[in-house]
Structure 1
Amino acid sequence: MEEWKKSVLIGVILIILAAMFAILRNEFNIWIILILILAAVDIIFGLMRKKVS
């Protein structure tokens, strides 16, 4: 699998897991917010790699 696809896939999985964890705990804490931010950055960098390639 290409690097940009891995990056986007990992970002999507992190967002899904963070959302599930937030729903189960019925709260948003700083760790969930950080995971969501990191996942979004991972997706952005993955899409930037695709455009460069």
Structure 2
Amino acid sequence: MEQWKLSILIGVILIILAALFAAIRKEISIWTILIVILAVVDIAVGILRKMKEN
């Protein structure tokens, strides 16, 4: 799998896991927020890598 696709996939999985974790605990902690921020950065890096390829 190409690196940019893998980066975007990991970002999406992290967001899903953070949402599930927040739903199970019924609260949003600082760790959940940090995971979502990390996932958004990972998706952004994946998009930048794709744009550099073209």
- Range class of TM-score, shorter chain: over 0.9
Shift of 1:36: 0.1
Q: Deviations over 1:7-43 (max 9, x none)?
A: 0000000000000000000000000000000000000
State the Cα RMSD in Å: 0.3
Give TM-score, length-normalised by structure 2: 0.97
Structure 1 segment 1-53 matched on structure 2, within 5 A: 1-53=1-53
SS at match of 2:27: coil
Q: Which runs of 4+ in 1 moved over 4 A?
A: none
Aligned residues: 53
Structure 2, unmatched stretches of 5+, are none
* AA in 2 matched with 1:20: L
